[in-house]
Amino acid sequence: MQKEISIFSFFSGIGILDLAFEKSGYNIVFVNEYDNLFMASYQYARTQMTHRVPLYGYHNESAERYTKKRGKRKLIDLVAQEREKGNLVGFIGGPPCPDFSVAGKNAGVVGENGRLTKVYFDIICRCRPDFFLFENVKGLVKTEKHRAFYNEMMMKVQANGYIIDEKVLNALAYGVPQFRERVFMVGIQKGIYQNPPDALSFAWDKHAIFDTEDILKRDWPKQREFAVDSPYEFSFKRIPKRLTVEYWFNKNDVEDHPNGKDIFQVKKGREKIATIAEGDTSGKSFKRLHRWRYSPTAAYGHNEVHLHPYKERRISVAEAMAIQSLPQEFVVLPTLCLSKKFKMIGNGVPYLMAVAIAKTLKDTLETIREDGP
């Protein structure tokens, strides 16, 4: 019986995906992130939550290093060390996605960030962990010109001994107050099975809380005239309160959160934004959230601005983290500029969505262990 499930994390950002895996019983042993400010915030958050330093440390460098001779050899040796302890080894990562995003550059694999997806799959195939998780924007599979590349990567890992499953998931299904679709791919090495199946049938919905189609059909409250600090009582017979923005703002006590005062000031157009109704998210730029609805995708950038439901301001960093369903104790490094803080949060995988996938993957691996060689 293996002792632990050891995780090597790539493109780690500020550690949201890693936190979800750690809280689900995995051991984060290796962290790689190229952006030094993202890495600094990752380390700060872990320190604030009194989490231990990863066994093999933090690696603030390009993941491309691990496709080169020395970097690859180092990584292979670390994987071997974990296996010698009887541990399963997994790689997790979500390479930067703007080049596959409809809202981003849409440059695909030839883009500066797009090529890093190929780098991640190259690392997997060269080091051959027992399993891997890949996460990215749905544009990678829904856009025809990107789908061919995605299919190529699937065939690549299959040729290297992995059985895989993949699916586009919506964060709403997992209790996140946000409409956010992402594609996930899970791969497991045939060698860890006693009798490997021909294909992986991953129980994506095992830890889901809601059916997305049903949620979207519910009679959610409509737009209402914006008024500062206006009272608004609502009956929750028809909709789940836990999927609303206001529920999460209260749950995370955002006003008193360490990042609760991190707010962009509206310098121009205050009169104009005051005319935007609560719940009007139709604008290309300014979108006012509805307190008793879920949020649109938390993509802070590309000129998209989310306004507070009943305050005359934009949402705070703490409120953005609540919309990502992060636990209250998670804190972004205070000294960073506001634009960086919002980018860090918007780039992350919704926390509860990541927890659900981590738990299902752990259940799958434990079943394989019980039946294993």
What residues act catalytically?
Answer: 97
Please, are residues 161 and 190 in contact by the beta-carbon 8 Å criterion? yes
Tokens representing 91? 């790689």
Give whole-number Cα distances, 33 to 10, 42, 331, 349, in Å: 6, 9, 18, 15
**Contact (Cβ atoms closer than 8 angstroms) between residue 135 and residue 182:** yes
Would you give the DSSP letter of residue 174? G
Report d(CA 164, CA 216) in Å as an integer: 29
Tell me which DSSP letter residue 194 carries.
Answer: S
Largest CA distance in the chain: 68
302 CA to centre of own chain? 19
Question: In this structure, is the dihedral angle defined by the CA atoms of residues 296, 301, 303 and 307, taken in order, positive or negative?
Answer: positive
Separation CA 358–CA 360 (nearest Å): 6
CA 229 from chain centre, in angstroms, equals 32
Collapsed DSSP state (helix, strand, coil) of residue 6: strand
Q: DSSP assignment of 217-277, as one string? A: HS-----B---TT-------SSS-GGGSHHHHHHHTTGGGSTTTT------S-HHHHTTSP
Cβ atoms of residues 337 and 358 within 8 Å: no
Specify the pairing of strand 5-10 against strand 27-32: parallel
